Structures are given as C-alpha cells and as structure tokens.
Structure 1
C-alpha cells in the first residue's frame, strides 16, 4: 500500500474539492472548482445539479493531472453537502434545479408535518434543513416534478450515477433527506408518504466504506484515471469531518465553524431530542448527534461585505471589550435551529446606541455565534448525560484568532484549532483507505490523523468569565421573548401591497 493513493472529493455548497491522499494523511495534490448557488426568491437556495458532476470531474482531473503516476490512484471516495437533493427525469437529466440544505421555503410544510413522530422516526426535528419538507413543498407546488421524476436523491447518489452508472448512496448520506427510519436504516413508508416520494425513486443504500461500483471507463478517462478504480461509499460532510478529527471517541466533539456552525459527537445508541439532530454514523449501530446553526460565517461574511474588509473589522473588533459595549446579536439570518427549530426566526440585534460602530456589530456577531454554541453544548450534555471534554475546530471561522478566542471564552472550554486542511475530504480518504486495507474507518482515520490534528490549543481567559456569564444569561432570553414577534412578522410580510 505504500505507493498507492486515494482521491477524496468533498462536493460542498460552494465548491467541489479533490485531494489526493497517502495512507498516512499527506496531501500530494489538490484542486477545487466553484459551484454557483442561485436565489430566485427570498429564502430559496438552488443549484444546477449537473454542476456537482462538472465541478467534481474538473477538480479531480486537475488534481490527478499534477501526479507523476496517476495509475497509483487505487480508489475514489465522496463526501458532500447534506440534505440537498435533485430530481431526475427518465433521461437522468435534472427536472428542476436542486434544492439545497439552507433553502427555507417550506415553513408551511414544517408547521404541518414537523411532528414528534417524524422526529422520532427520522432523528430530525422539524427544521428547514431536512429534504422531507422541501419534497412535500414540491408535491404541493410543483407536483409534476415528483410525478415525472425517475430518481430522487442526494449529492452522492447523483455522482455515483455519473461515475459508476449505479443509483446508490450510503445511509449516512441519505439519512439527512429525512426519509429514513433511522434506527432500522431503511426507507420509511410513513415518511415517504409525507414527502410525496415513491420508494422506487430512491437510491440503493450501501454501507459506508463498501464499494458503490467501479468507475465507468468514460468517467475514469474524464478524471484522468486508468484501470478499474472503485468508488467507495462515502458519508455526509459533517460525519466525515468527525471521523477525520477523531470525534468518534467519547468526550470528543468536532466543531465546523464555517458557513454554518455544526458541532457533533458520537453515540453508540439511538437518541432523539430537541437538543440535537441525530444522523446515521459509519457503522450500522453508530450515530452522530449534531447541533447546528445555519448561519455562522455566513453572517460574519455578510457583515464584512456590507461594512468593511475582513482585516479592518477583525483588528477593530479585537480592540473592543467583551460584550461589544452591550450589543447582542441573534445570528438567525437563516432561521433558528438547535434547540428551537423555528423556520420563522430571523436575525436580531439588541442594545444599539450612538457610539456603536460596524466593528461593534461584527464582534457582537462573533459573540452571538459563540453564545449559541454554549447553549448547544449545555443542552447536548444535559440530554445525553455525557460531557464534551475536548472541542476540535476546523472551518474558515477557526482561522480567525479573534473568533476562536471568543468561542473559548464564551463557552469556557479549551478549543483545539486543527491544522488548515480539508477535514471532510480527510474523512472520505479514511473510508477509501479502510476499504483498501481491510481496517476499520476509525483505524484508517487514526493512521492519517497527524497532519490534520496538528495545530494549537486556545484556553479560556478567566478574566472574561463573569461578564460572558452575565451576557449569556441575557442572550438566552432573547429568542423566547421574540418567538411571537417572529411569527407576527412572517404574517405581516405575507400581506399584499400596491
């Protein structure tokens, strides 16, 4: 195995990223191709699913082209943005743009179908992210799409079809559609009925780490590969990052501080609770418990784009005292998730006065995300009875020393900032190596963990604890007192004018 390589692809929301990885985790080649997201209406987020293929193809081809010996590539594995889905016609061409995980059009369907029963079956609270509600929206508003669709599936299923000719995915990719009876790892007739989807439209389920098939000759040529290369069944990007970061061990949580903020821990038992969403883990009896905020770096980026450059705001915000001189932000630009699961919630900034500047707003956004994370951690620990002893952070936000400092101080926990790298792709690479070596995914990930886990620890500053405790207590009161206001605002926005 010493001369073999694997290609790991992360087809995320913004780009398809391909990395070529050795068994010990060294990245020997990498390339990326962007993906375009369209917003035809407020709260809608869509992509042309054919971009998933063209961006993946071009990224892999570019990475492989830089290798001296492309024939050393022994396997390919995918990870991807979760909850996003496409509907294909009989010719396997998308019938409409793919609907993404952060799309929030289906609030009426969430209100109608987001019951405790659906939560118990699927592991997913009623929320904007699971595809089940957006499929129900299609069944109501575009019924011809689901009626005429031959296939309905996730990103991996679509790429598997293009790469191998097989319509298949893993339970840990498909489950975020919200259509699986999660404890049984099987499609639920009850949930399919809510979504308006037929079982024959859905992909086969292949356990993570097992082959989905062999690359079609024309697909292999497009990627610059030769010979019979297997496509190994991958998992969603959150679970993949958790695998790479060692969060399958007790007491360890992964934190992806990216466009959204996702914190996850592993569980050997099926649990469901508003404190988290439950996902399929790698093995048949493994689960991942995640908390989520759909707008983290999304909001920080919005602020920078509106008011200043990143360097200016980072420097100015770092000079401000904890608490941004009394400015508190609820970062619900894309609804509220853990633990409230309210699709009507929106961002709120409380405490403005005349001395506040854009830098105060920026710091209050970073602190608002950190307050949300503290709430998530406390609710997760209370629901599971297990403490999170170590947080391992990746993502664009983790490259901001100011933001990591704020996260550590607000949560009063040490944060391990892992080396810059593609954590989700590293998890996909571990699954590919697991298949090639016959080891467990956890063993393969541990063997390759060195380059990714290199980094530094940030410890909380005790001098900020009292102020952040007091501000956190105020922050926790904001959403409950605004819940009815959000609902009334949604009603008011729907009143016609002109």
Structure 2
C-alpha cells in the first residue's frame, strides 16, 4: 500500500511553513519561507507589506512539494491539509476576495478596538481573519473557522457560531453581511481550486480543513490535553494555555477560547508580546561582534550566545530585563527595560537576562491563572523554535520548579493542523487517538532546587515590583517620544 499523507499549513508572524506527515506522524518533508519585515508606518502600528502572507505561503508550498517528490512521495496521496494562520489580525477584503488594505498585524494598536471605517478602507466588503483570507485564496470559498475570532468579533463561543444578539454586532461595528460563513475545527472549509493547484504544485481538490487560532492548534499538536499540563508557546507572541471543558464566564486572569477540539476550550493567560522577536532583536543588534567567533567554532550565532549564557549564574548577577518592547493594550505607555548593570556584565549576561525575563513574566501570569482555576501546574510543554535551547528549557524548569519537556517536533502547530485534517477525512477515531499517534515527546528537564529557590526570591522581591516603580517614568516619557 502506498503511503498516505496529511499536510499542516502554518503561517506565523515571521514565517510560512508547510509540513507533510505520514499517517504514523512522521514528518516527511517541509517547505518554509520567511515573511518580509513588517511595515511600521507609525509607533504601535504594524502591517504586513503587500500580499506577503499569500506570497510567502506559495513559496513554502512549492518547496514542500518539491521535497516530497525528491523523497518519492506522490502528490495524489495527500488526503487533506489543515490550515493555521496567525491569529488576532484584521483582514479587509474586496467583494472578489482580494485585499482592500494590507493585513493589519496583531501588534497594531488598532486591534485593541473594534473595526472602524476610514477613507483608506474604501472598497471593503468583508472584515475577516487571516485564516478566512487564506481559505478564500486556496478554495475560492468565503468561509473560516469559528475558532479564530478573538477580541472584537460577534462570535458566540457557546454555540461555536455567529452571535444572534444585535448588541454584539453593534459593539463590533459589523453586520452579518460583512463576515464570512464559519465551520468548526476538523470540518472542511473547501477544496483546492484548479488555478491554485497549478500555482502551488499540489493536486486540485484536496480538502482544506479548519483548525482554530494558532495557539490552540499548537496546544493540540503539543499534546497538552491533560489537566495541569500547560503549554508555553514560544513565538513572536509567547502564550501559555491549558485545555478545559467549560466556557468559563467572567474569568479574571485568563481568556476562555475555543480549542482545536470542537466543544472544548483553551484557557490562555496574558503572555509576552514580541517575545521571541526580542531575542532575534538582541541577536541582530548585539551579535555582530560574535559572528567571527561563531564561524570559527563552527556553530550558529544563537548556539554561541546560548553557550556563553550557560556560564552566567542564575539571576545574571543582578541584571533584569522587563519585556515591554510591545506594551499591553491596557498600558500602551510601557517600554522595554534592562536594569541593574554593573562592571561584571557582558553580552552573555544580557542574553540570559532576556531569557529569564520571559520566564519570570510567564510564571507571574500563569500563577494567577492556575490559582483562579484551582488547578496547579504539574508539568510544562515548551513549543516553538526557542525550545531547541537547552539553556532556555532549564531556565523554565528552574523558574517554575516543575518538570519541563519539549516535543521532538518543536513547531507543534503543524502537528495540530495534521490532527484536524486527519479527523476531517476519517483517518483517526478521536482526537486523543490522533494525539497519541502524531505527538512525539522529546527531552525533559528537571528543576534545580537551588536555582528555583533563588529565582523565587528574585521574582517576588524584585521582578514583580518593577512595573509600579517604572510606570510613572514611562507615562511621562511616552508623550515626549510617541
């Protein structure tokens, strides 16, 4: 019997990726393309240039299909593809489905408010998400997943469909004619058109399957289905989440979102905006001096920085990084900060401090969620490219004080896509069976008890106190420079 395949389509803030799996969960091949640098027309605005999401995705598809052929795979054996595109963006479409305005990225302050028409939006027929847009590009259908509508949308998370409350529509400045049809995760959105098939190198007619928003897809693909098992997703936005069974009302320290499993929910606390972007920023701005050293050692600049930072003690000898390079919507005046410099500090201290600051921030947000849910965390799963760093993994284990593991495939969103795709075409009996088959656990890291005790002191006595002291200064600074 010839091998059959499932395809995961994963477009994030920084790259587009297409991964092809066999039905046993083995990643057969991958195509990837970096997205272009974001347009920043003014402070706290962020737009994807031109038609970059689609253009990058086309390249990723062609590369994946080329590699499938090189490995002897047959395109006609692809059963279905699951679609996961970066969440919390706003896409404005013309009546024919083309972009009426550049895709507004989730880091843009306009996303903190409902859609408002301005003259620059002339010709807008539909207001949708990135997944709705890419679904139309692939299939010609005006459909989307019900589970990618987060924030200012009239979505009913109990019925998994559009709200029937007129006030909900009015509060979002939308009407039913301005949005797309929705389907549940694991249902078919449409099929690849003949025209698109020629552009991408895939067979026409392949089912395109709905997933959820990107973090929910990662949670499914990471295997974090059990109670007390939390996923930390290391992306441009770093999020933390656990699965649940109820649409919790009036939660104070987390949001209940639709999960990639229909009828289940994902509880997500506040995260770190521009989280892994901050690490890339540090590498690009301060790593140039280390390039020759990395070349001589035969390692990447990231590997060299990690090796150097492993020699720095926990707490970076007093250097603290506050991760507000992209501030939260409730405090747009905040900015990133590094404090505590003295003559001991090197680039290795700075790099490790960036990593520790992420771990501290996530722990403080996650502790509040765990307390409200009355469910302490018993283990962590870390996904995303940052999980490749043994140093980063150990920092998470030490800061949280619980076992921390990573999967063999760090980009778990693609795995989640394949699970949803397989459910749509009857490959798996249920989501638990699919996760057991496709999710591959990797290395586990045990906390160092001495480091954990020290990190607790540093967090409680210093890190948790920083914002209340910096906020008055940053409130005075913001109107002068923004």
1:490 to 474, 478, 482: 478
1:50 maps to what in 2? 51
**Is the CA contact (8 Å cut-off) linking 2:385 and 2:410 kept in structure 1?**
no
SS of equivalent to 2:352: helix
1:442 maps to what in 2? 432
1:390 maps to what in 2? 379
2:367 maps to what in 1? 378
**Is the CA contact (8 Å cut-off) linking 1:324 and 1:364 kept in structure 2?**
yes
1:199 to 155, 158, 176: 176
Please list the CA deviations of residues 175-217 of structure 1 after superposition, one character each: whole Å capped at 9, or x if unmatched. 3554423334343543443443332111111011111112222
1:328 maps to what in 2? 320
1:270 maps to what in 2? 247
Q: Are positions 1:30 and 2:30 aligned together? A: yes
Q: Are positions 1:297 and 2:276 aligned together? A: yes
1:187 maps to what in 2? 162
RMSD between aligned residues: 2.2
Please list the CA deviations of residues 2-26 of structure 1 after superposition, one character each: whole Å capped at 9, or x if unmatched. 7321221101111211111111111
2:298 maps to what in 1? none
Which segments of 5 or more consecutive residues in structure 2 lack a partner in the other structure? 291-301
Distance 1:215 1:222 in 2: 11
1:85 maps to what in 2? 90
SS of equivalent to 2:433: helix
SS of equivalent to 1:98: coil
Please list the CA deviations of residues 215-268 of structure 1 after superposition, one character each: whole Å capped at 9, or x if unmatched. 222222323233532111122221111111211221211111232211110111
**Is the CA contact (8 Å cut-off) linking 1:245 and 1:392 kept in structure 2?**
yes
2:103 to 79, 94, 98: 98
2:293 maps to what in 1? none
Please list the CA deviations of residues 305-346 of structure 1 after superposition, one character each: whole Å capped at 9, or x if unmatched. 222243443233221221111111111111147xxx533322
Bigger mean CA deviation after superposition, 341-350 or 410-419: 341-350
Runs of 4+, deviation exceeding 6 Å: none
2:458 to 471, 478, 495: 471
Distance 1:227 1:320 in 2: 54
Please list the CA deviations of residues 245-303 of structure 1 after superposition, one character each: whole Å capped at 9, or x if unmatched. 21122121111123221111011111243422221113443111112211322222222
Change (3 A) 1:346 1:227: closer
1:314 maps to what in 2? 306
Q: CA deviation at 1:144?
A: 4.9
Distance 1:170 1:346 in 2: 34
Change (3 A) 1:226 1:260: closer
**Is the CA contact (8 Å cut-off) linking 1:3 and 1:72 kept in structure 2?**
yes
Q: CA deviation at 1:150?
A: 0.8
**Is the CA contact (8 Å cut-off) linking 2:19 and 2:27 kept in structure 1?**
yes
SS of equivalent to 2:279: helix
**Is the CA contact (8 Å cut-off) linking 1:336 and 1:346 kept in structure 2?**
no
**Is the CA contact (8 Å cut-off) linking 2:192 and 2:203 kept in structure 1?**
no
SS of equivalent to 2:335: coil
Distance 2:475 2:256 in 1: 27
Alignment of 1:384-423 (within 5 A): 384-423=373-412
**Is the CA contact (8 Å cut-off) linking 1:212 and 1:231 kept in structure 2?**
yes
Q: Are positions 1:210 and 2:187 aligned together? A: yes
Change (3 A) 1:184 1:433: closer
Distance 1:194 1:22 in 2: 45
SS of equivalent to 2:331: coil
Distance 2:119 2:429 in 1: 46
**Is the CA contact (8 Å cut-off) linking 2:388 and 2:410 kept in structure 1?**
no
Alignment of 1:427-438 (within 5 A): 427-437=416-426
Please list the CA deviations of residues 342-390 of structure 1 after superposition, one character each: whole Å capped at 9, or x if unmatched. 3332212222223322222222211111111221221111111112212
Distance 2:389 2:152 in 1: 32
Distance 1:333 1:316 in 2: 24
- Number of equivalent positions: 458
1:112 maps to what in 2? none
TM superposition score normalised by structure 1? 0.86
Distance 1:464 1:332 in 2: 25
Distance 1:465 1:390 in 2: 15
SS of equivalent to 1:300: helix
Bigger mean CA deviation after superposition, 193-202 or 72-81: 193-202
SS of equivalent to 1:163: helix
Q: CA deviation at 1:481?
A: 3.0
Distance 2:281 2:135 in 1: 34
**Is the CA contact (8 Å cut-off) linking 1:49 and 1:86 kept in structure 2?**
no
Q: Are positions 1:248 and 2:222 aligned together? A: no
